[in-house]
A and B are shown apart, each in its own frame.
Chain A
Amino acid sequence: MLILAHEGQKLTQGCFGLFYFKDPKTSLLHGCDAFSGRNIMHMADALISPAVGGAMWAATAGLTVYSARKLKEEMDERKIPLMGVMGALIFAAQMINFTIPGTGSSGHLGGGLLLAILLGPPAAFLTMASILTIQALFFADGGLLALGCNIFNMGFFPCFIAFPFIYKKIASSGEGAKRILAAALAASIIGLQLGAFGVVIETVFSKISELPLGTFLLVMQPIHLAIGIVEGVVTASLIGFISSTRPEVLEAAAGPARGKPFSIKPVLIALILVAAFTGGVLSWFASSNPEGLEWSIARICGNKELKSPESGVHALLSRIQEKMAFLPDYDFRKEKPEGLAKSESAQGKENAWPSMRTGTSVSGLLGGAMSLVLAGLIGFGIKIFQGRKSGRRDG
């Protein structure tokens, strides 16, 4: 061990702040860290459609009500202060990094599985939900409308799927550190894979990102396999630490939840119904053409086979079709009937594309810039008005 002392001078946080901001290498590392977990799973408002956001909000609201009721039934409301403080602990622990041997990168705790082990699924779900709410509100990590998606991906899967069906099954059949490690590894890997899959599905269904399903899955799933392994090892070592120092904490946590067998089936069915209903209604409102989804799927398949989206008539056709479906108000549609556009596009994209809605778009962009200026002017006006008012008040 190495101990470093310096003569009578106090280390300040400022010196580290300076170091941290001045060095490009550290900021790069910080960037990698941001990619390594905390941000990659948090969906943002800008990447989802209102239909997907609304559906996931409905599902999450249902789960929250269910969890709160479950807590009440089990007379577990005395857990509430413990939940809050544990949430704060996970929050703090997420900000402490550790190096992962052999890779040079750093990892941190996700916490969903650990909370489920310590508090039981319903309480852990509520705690994860509030951690994510704080992150969305204060750190802009994930949006407000995307909060439903985020709570579902990072709360539901570890707490209601990975813990009861994987961790508990493996860990309860025997004792020993190895078994706990295996259980935690399996549970956190599967929980994170499901969560990453959720992120991909929600993003693709929102149709904002151009990333096709296959490619996105190929990026997200392996990253989360790695994160899952790390999470599993850390969770297992934490559980090992607690069971060797204060085993009663684990027993107390598992106590009340063990009394009643936990059944997820009715919850799942209700969830699917709620999400499907809300999503259906919202997308019916949002899009004038409910068949849009099919086109998007056709396009994804086309992309996968053809590699590049603009080669091949099929992909092009579906692209045009999709644009037709989602841009009903643009001039393009008024000018050209659908059949004409289709036949033109078959001749080649050069003919079909250049003349399209150019005027509107350029003027639209110009208008966007103008309205930005206008908004600025309004803001400036309010500020001056306010300044005069407060000046009058002071005077």
Chain B
Amino acid sequence: MQIVLLTQRKISFSLASSRAKRSVPPSSREILIFDIGLLNVCAMGSIDSSFFDIGRLDALSSKDSPVHRIDPRLKVLTTLYFIAIAISFDKYDPAGPVPLLVYPMTLMIIGEIPFSYIAKKLLIASPFVLSVALFNPILDRCPMLNLGPISVSGGLVSFASIMTKYVLTVSAVLALIACTGLDSICSALARMGVPKAFTIQLLFLYRYIFVLGEEAARMTRARALRSFGGKGLGMSVYSSMIGHLLLRTVDRAQRIHLAMLCRGFDGEIRHGEPSKIRLSDLLFLAGWCALFTLLRLYDFPAWLGKGLGRLL
């Protein structure tokens, strides 16, 4: 066993070289320990930021605004209809669904959800969509549209259309969760007839993500600090780590269940006074759905473009 004590001198050395390499501002007092493999640091970054993300969305959902007050059932239905309409646009029509952006945008503005936050999440979540969509411009090279001397291929057009749909659908889902919250969505699902077994354990899962997440992040941090040059990050340490976490989890679940039984749990979670659907909720649903349908039936961007063309 080897014990290395990093003295102040060594730390300042590593800081200096890191500054040279990465142009870290000299004011930053963080210690960068080089010996830790980049990989585990990266894993820690992602695990911490993931839980931070859930917490942030949860905090946003506890605000109070007109869109937060809409009945969650109708919000879920409206968003599902929105997504169905958005993805039903033709794959060679990238402009058609653009006006639909009004819906997530209105939710975000009225619900006071920061744009930059949603935009960041849009960027992070895109790898699968991007990696599949990137094949379209490669595979489909039929010229489709002439912009002066440049002809644009069908693949590029359909790529643009996929990205438009991606932005629309993902921002709508994030806006929905940010102005509703999972508890309300669960109770909405339960009242819409989704089996109790699903909604109750969804609630459990959500509640315990925070607890177990913190525990997992702590364990990962501990593992990262004990492994150098990528040693100790392998499968054997991983499986005994997760195994211990698992056993602790099973015990915890048992304790939770007993405690709940002691407090009279009968297989049902009461969500408080069930909210009634008000007129404004119905107007929300009807208004948005009518707008989506109209935008789907009439090609609004084409009109606008033609009108503009005539003016010019």
Query: How many CB-defined contacts (below 8 Å) exist between A and B?
Result: 463
Residues of A within 8 A of B165 (CB): 45-46
Residues of B within 8 A of A95 (CB): 43, 46-47, 50, 213, 216, 220
- Minimum CB–CB distance from A357 to chain B (whole Å) comes to 8
Q: A144-B80, A367-B308 are in contact. Are A16 and B203 (CB under 8 A)?
A: no
- Minimum CB–CB distance from A358 to chain B (whole Å) comes to 5
Indicate whether B290 reaches chain A with its CB closer than 8 angstroms: no
Residues of A within 8 A of B213 (CB): 88, 91-92, 95
Q: Which of B44, B106, B132, B230 contacts A209 (CB 8 A)?
A: B132
Interface residues on B, range: 35 or more
In the complex formed, the residue of B with least CB distance to A68 is B195
Indicate whether B84 reaches chain A with its CB closer than 8 angstroms: yes
- Minimum CB–CB distance from A307 to chain B (whole Å) comes to 11
20 further A-B pairs in the complex, CB-CB below 8 A; given A80-B204, A87-B201, A95-B43 = A15-B31, A15-B32, A16-B45, A19-B32, A20-B42, A29-B38, A42-B128, A68-B197, A71-B197, A83-B204, A85-B205, A86-B250, A106-B43, A207-B91, A208-B162, A211-B135, A234-B238, A245-B243, A364-B301, A371-B304
Residues of B within 8 A of A289 (CB): none
Binary CB contact string for chain A from 1 to 41 against chain B (1 if under 8 A, 0 otherwise):
11111110101111111111111011101110111000110
How many angstroms between the C-alpha atoms of A11 and B44 in the bound complex? 13
Indicate whether B257 reaches chain A with its CB closer than 8 angstroms: yes
B180-213 contacts to A (CB < 8 Å): 182, 185, 194-198, 200-209, 211-213
Binary CB contact string for chain A from 70 to 93 against chain B (1 if under 8 A, 0 otherwise):
011000011011111111110111
- Minimum CB–CB distance from B269 to chain A (whole Å) comes to 10
CB <8 Å contact, A238 and B204: no
How many angstroms between the C-alpha atoms of A160 and B163 in the bound complex? 34
Query: Which stretch of B2-10, B272-280, B281-289 is in the interface?
Result: B2-10
26 residue pairs A–B, Cβ–Cβ below 8 Å: A6-B33, A13-B44, A18-B30, A19-B41, A33-B46, A39-B127, A45-B86, A50-B84, A53-B87, A65-B195, A85-B256, A97-B43, A101-B235, A134-B182, A139-B121, A145-B169, A249-B250, A356-B144, A360-B302, A362-B146, A366-B309, A368-B96, A368-B301, A371-B98, A379-B105, A382-B106
Residues of B within 8 A of A86 (CB): 246, 249-250, 253
CB <8 Å contact, A143 and B237: no
B12-56 contacts to A (CB < 8 Å): 22, 24, 28, 30-33, 35, 38-50, 53-54
How many angstroms between the C-alpha atoms of A164 and B41 in the bound complex? 38
- Minimum CB–CB distance from A382 to chain B (whole Å) comes to 5
How many angstroms between the C-alpha atoms of A45 and B89 in the bound complex? 12
CB <8 Å contact, B105 and A106: no
How many angstroms between the C-alpha atoms of A242 and B110 in the bound complex? 50
In the complex formed, the residue of B with least CB distance to A240 is B239
How many angstroms between the C-alpha atoms of A87 and B199 in the bound complex? 13
In the complex formed, the residue of A with least CB distance to B47 is A95
Residues of A within 8 A of B205 (CB): 83-85, 87-88, 91, 127, 130-131, 134
Indicate whether A43 reaches chain B with its CB closer than 8 angstroms: yes
Indicate whether A129 reaches chain B with its CB closer than 8 angstroms: yes
CB <8 Å contact, A92 and B215: yes
CB <8 Å contact, A49 and B88: yes
Q: Which of B145, B151, B202, B241 contacts A130 (CB 8 A)?
A: B202
CB <8 Å contact, B239 and A9: no
Indicate whether B294 reaches chain A with its CB closer than 8 angstroms: no
How many angstroms between the C-alpha atoms of A29 and B43 in the bound complex? 10
CB <8 Å contact, A44 and B93: no
Indicate whether B271 reaches chain A with its CB closer than 8 angstroms: no
Residues of A within 8 A of B262 (CB): none
Indicate whether A321 reaches chain B with its CB closer than 8 angstroms: no
How many angstroms between the C-alpha atoms of A71 and B196 in the bound complex? 11
Indicate whether B133 reaches chain A with its CB closer than 8 angstroms: yes
Indicate whether B113 reaches chain A with its CB closer than 8 angstroms: no
Q: Which of B6, B95, B133, B140 contacts A364 (CB 8 A)?
A: B95
- Minimum CB–CB distance from A144 to chain B (whole Å) comes to 5
Give the residue among A33, A203, A370 with the most B Cβ atoms within 10 A.
A370
Indicate whether A273 reaches chain B with its CB closer than 8 angstroms: no
CB <8 Å contact, A96 and B6: no
CB <8 Å contact, B38 and A26: yes
Indicate whether A138 reaches chain B with its CB closer than 8 angstroms: yes
In the complex formed, the residue of A with least CB distance to B94 is A368
CB <8 Å contact, B204 and A96: no
Residues of A within 8 A of B138 (CB): 210
How would you classify the secondary structure of chain A's contact residues: helix, strand, loop or mixed?
helix
In the complex formed, the residue of B with least CB distance to A349 is B142
How many angstroms between the C-alpha atoms of A357 and B166 in the bound complex? 25
CB <8 Å contact, B132 and A109: no
Nearest first, the 7 closest Cβ-Cβ pairs linking A and B are A84-B204, A368-B95, A367-B301, A367-B305, A68-B195, A363-B305, A20-B45
- Minimum CB–CB distance from B189 to chain A (whole Å) comes to 9
Q: A20-B42, A23-B38, A44-B128 are in contact. Are A98 and B235 (CB under 8 A)?
A: yes
How many angstroms between the C-alpha atoms of A233 and B5 in the bound complex? 37
Q: Which of B203, B209, B252 contacts A92 (CB 8 A)?
A: B209
Indicate whether B236 reaches chain A with its CB closer than 8 angstroms: yes
CB <8 Å contact, A29 and B305: no
Residues of B within 8 A of A25 (CB): 38
Q: Which of A7, A15, A209, A234 contacts B235 (CB 8 A)?
A: A234
CB <8 Å contact, A139 and B6: no
In the complex formed, the residue of A with least CB distance to B196 is A68
CB <8 Å contact, B209 and A144: no
Q: A2-B228, A140-B122, A374-B99 are in contact. Are A134 and B209 (CB under 8 A)?
A: yes
Q: A46-B162, A382-B106 are in contact. Are A366 and B305 (CB under 8 A)?
A: yes
CB <8 Å contact, B299 and A44: no
In the complex formed, the residue of B with least CB distance to A129 is B198
Residues of B within 8 A of A369 (CB): 95, 98
Q: Which of A39, A82, A100, A134 contacts B128 (CB 8 A)?
A: A39
Binary CB contact string for chain B from 105 to 137 against chain A (1 if under 8 A, 0 otherwise):
110011000000000011011011101110110
Residues of B within 8 A of A366 (CB): 301, 304-305, 308-309
Give the residue among A19, A40, A54, A91 with the most B Cβ atoms within 10 A.
A19
Residues of A within 8 A of B3 (CB): 2-3, 5
CB <8 Å contact, A130 and B198: yes
Indicate whether B74 reaches chain A with its CB closer than 8 angstroms: no
How many angstroms between the C-alpha atoms of A22 and B44 in the bound complex? 15
